Amino acid sequence: MKVLLINGSPRKDGNTFVALSEIANTLEKEHIATEFFQLGSQPVRPCIACQQCVDKNRCIFNDDIVNRLIEKAEIADGFVFGTPTYYGQPVGTLQSTIQRALFAATPLFAYKPVASIVICRRGGATAAFQTMNMPFEMCNMPIVTSQYWNIAYGQTKGQAALDAEGMQTMRTMARNMAWILRHLAQEPHPDNQQESRVWTNFIRSEK
Ligand SMILES: Cc1cc2nc3c(=O)[nH]c(=O)nc-3n(C[C@H](O)[C@H](O)[C@H](O)COP(=O)(O)O)c2cc1C
């Protein structure tokens, strides 16, 4: 079993990396393999709602990192998405990545456990955390929780390692992820038993 650790920070070895590394070490102790996936500082386009991806499991744009994440998702059993807090929100490139990857390739993410983790210097992390979880909640992805929201504090590179409670929160979440993965392996989701999807909207024409 393998968990993909996605680092949304442009600082590859910053505080988000510190928190993801704590999770990786804990998962490895639980005999779960891990792989880092760095977004770095490269640009990522937003979704342009072209719908060209429908039933293809790939985004039409091949010039950034999104299809590489989708390829990794194909063989991953679980995901941790990490982001610093920027103005009370996740990093913009990570949000674009998640929106395009999930829209293009929902079946490769559905029913696989996922956790969001958020780093901040001082405030806004809970808002960013809630924003991070929104897409996963509508893609049938079980969200892995911990003893607290998955938040750690730090500003300059490496400071998050000094947040003892934050690091413990990461380790607890990682152990919960391992536990859930072991159980899901015994009883995979019966994907073929889902109802056909009902779509509604709230438009009313007035006469
Ligand atoms: C553009 C920008 C906006 C930020 N906004 C916030 C914020 O709203 N709240 C906060 O606590 N920290 C904020 N920070 C600080 C980062 O979240 C913090 O330094 C974090 O440790 C960076 O993580 P990294 O080392 O993984 O990049 C901001 C940093 C930047 C560059």
pLDDT value of position 95: 98
Instruction: Tell me if 151 CB under 6 Å of ligand 1.
Output: no
pLDDT value of position 169: 98
Domain count, the chain: 1
Our measurement of the distance from residue 115's CA atom to the centroid of its chain's CA atoms, rounded to an integer in Å, reads 6
Residue 48 reports pLDDT greater than 90 = yes
Question: Residue 103: helix, strand or coil by DSSP?
Answer: helix
Instruction: Tell me if 15 CB under 6 Å of ligand 1.
Output: yes
**207 inside domain:** no
**72 inside domain:** yes
Percent with pLDDT over 90 in the chain:
91
Report how far residue 31's alpha carbon sits from residue 33's, in angstroms, rounded to the nearest whole number: 6
* C-alpha 91 to ligand 1 mean position (Å): 9
Reported as a single tens digit per residue, the pLDDT across 56-97 is 999 999 999 999 999 999 999 999 999 999 999 999 999 999
**65 inside domain:** yes
CATH code of residue 102: 3.40.50.360
Residue 128 reports pLDDT greater than 90 = yes
* C-alpha 137 to ligand 1 mean position (Å): 25
Mean pLDDT over all residues of the chain?
96
Sheet strand arrangement including 114-120:
33-38, 2-7, 78-84, 114-120, 151-153
Ligand 1 closest atom vs CA 11 = 27
**151 inside domain:** yes
pLDDT value of position 190: 81
Atom 19 of ligand 1, residue of closest alpha carbon: 155
Q: Mean of the pLDDT values across residues 152-176? A: 98
Q: Mean of the pLDDT values across residues 144-165? A: 98
Q: What is the CA radius of gyration of the chain?
A: 17
* C-alpha 154 to ligand 1 mean position (Å): 8
Using 50, 70 and 90 to split pLDDT, how confident is the model at 197?
confident
**23 inside domain:** yes
196 vs 9, more confident: 9
92 vs 205, more confident: 92
* C-alpha 55 to ligand 1 mean position (Å): 37
